[in-house]
Structure 1
Amino acid sequence: MDTLPRWLSEETSEALVEAAPRRRWGADFIEKNLRDLTRIFEDELFTTSMARKPGLYQLLDPRVKVFATVVLIGVVGCEQSLRTLAVTCLLTLLLAAACRLPLGVFLKRVSFVPLFTGIMVLPAVFNWFTPGTPLVMLVPEANLHLGPYHFGGPLAITAQGLQGAATIILRAGASVSFALILTLTTPWPALLRALRVFLLPQIFVLTLEMTLRYIFLFLRIATEAFEAYKVRVVGPATGKTGRRFIGATAGTIIAKTQRLSEEVYQAMLARGYTGEPRLLSPFRFRLQDGLFLAGVGVVAVLLLSWDRLGC
């Protein structure tokens, strides 16, 4: 009876493990791309599951949710007081909790916009751009030339600049929060149909619908290409090989775009598509929708009144 060779039955020594070639930084680009693509699909499944939960927004008519979101975002745009804006941001968290959205995931998605907005409005806190009462003196005497512009004198952070920057950041955070709650609790076809009810141009709704479909179609193609490449590669991929593969994959996807777009459009026309989103169940305006709209109106009036009194 044949026995296993000694080299196959022996355990790998530490010397052989240490002598094995180490993977260079960036060689696992395939795994990173696969993880990123998988995360996008997981986010879409997460959105679908959130829209099916028995939360506050999930029980409402999509038309009511769209109208209420527009009203609340309009209220945020009219608010001037930082106190009122802070209360509105707190209201978005309470609304997210009422919709049974995971607050950790919700805050993670919302936090990017205030962070980016804060970076954009950072220069406004300095007295060179927003004169006012100095709060923190940074440089007693400065002399800076930026092309044709000259900045001289003391550099300080002003109260007016901080207030203006905080106002913009809180407005952006609250507006994005209301919009995110709407998109997380409403299925995409129902949201598009509700937008058409409010006379949004058909070409705009059609573009949104086709864009979403094509994004996931091409993501699926890219995922399959990465997986096929992964199972055929022996050993770690080099940076040059990875760049060549990424370029070839991008070129293949772009080449498929024109052909698939024409085929999909012809197939949609053959099945009677007219550009209008269709739903299996029609919209129904119920008592709870009317009560919610009344509540939104009361909250909007209270926030604006309190804002005017606080200014």
Structure 2
Amino acid sequence: MIPYQLGNLSQLEYLSLERNSLAGAIPSQLGRLTHLQYLALSDNIIDGQIPYALGNLSQLQYLDLGYNSLSGALPFHVGNLPMLETLKLNFILDLKINDGKWLSTLTSLTNFALSGFSHQWLQIINKLLPKLIELRLSRCQLSDNDIYSLFHSHSNFSTSLTILDLSENMLTLSTFHLLSNFSITLHELYLSKNNIMSFPLYLSFPSLVILDLSYNNLASSTFQGISNFGSKLKVLRLRLCNLSDNNFHATSPSIMNSSSSVDILVLSRNLLTLAIFHWIFNFTTNLHTLDLGGNLLEGPIPNGFGTEMRSIEVLS
């Protein structure tokens, strides 16, 4: 249980009680902490409704209530939490909206995370987009049509959006194509655990540094798609490319025509054979970490791997 006496710490600016197995309700006395700038209560078993008194925290910049058993509606109204920059409401499954205008008028909000929401949120999220830097909508049962409704034009896609997490939804290659049209500032793109069955060709992500396509249904025929990042998937520098837990297998060196720059390449738990090493020779010259665990590797690692791949620091 969260001690209600914490409300007596009138000068408190930072309060983090994450991952403590705390039960019971959020005490309304926390609304007295008018100097509070950071409040994180996620990953507990807190239940009940969010108290109206939290709307008094006019200096609050960070609020994370996710991964609890809270119910009811967001109690905040226009004018509450005017300084809020980060709002995380992951997996509060019974959460409802009383005043949708409140979210759309949060002029300082740049980071927003919401999981397991009902589709009544889509219109509100659409209004938030032009000012967001980070948007996380994992495990929301989103379809390609939902993404089209969010990003239907350049005007409503944030020109500052750098992190987009759409993992654990029902998205296909169509969403990947759509996002490439609005990707000028996108640095991190997470599409893990969707239903992407082929690799996108001739798409442009000029600022992308992290790409996660793990746990999809990418098949062997699509492996040629990732063999030429330079001309097909246009990225300048990928720090991390995660393609684990798909159905890739590389059987022919004929697909090896790539020259790109990737620091960390994760291809674990696929159907790869030793041919993958020949492909990697031509894939990148800056590879630091290579994960090939859980594949079908059998026999000697090809001669020349050690001399060709001198940049590798971690090999699994």
Higher strand share goes to which structure?
Answer: 2
Higher helix share goes to which structure?
Answer: 1
Question: Which is higher, the Rg of structure 1 or of structure 2?
Answer: 1
TM category, shorter: under 0.3
TM-score normalised over the length of structure 1: 0.19
Tell which has more relative contact order, 1 or 2 (C-alpha 8 A, sep 6+).
1
TM-score normalised over the length of structure 2: 0.18
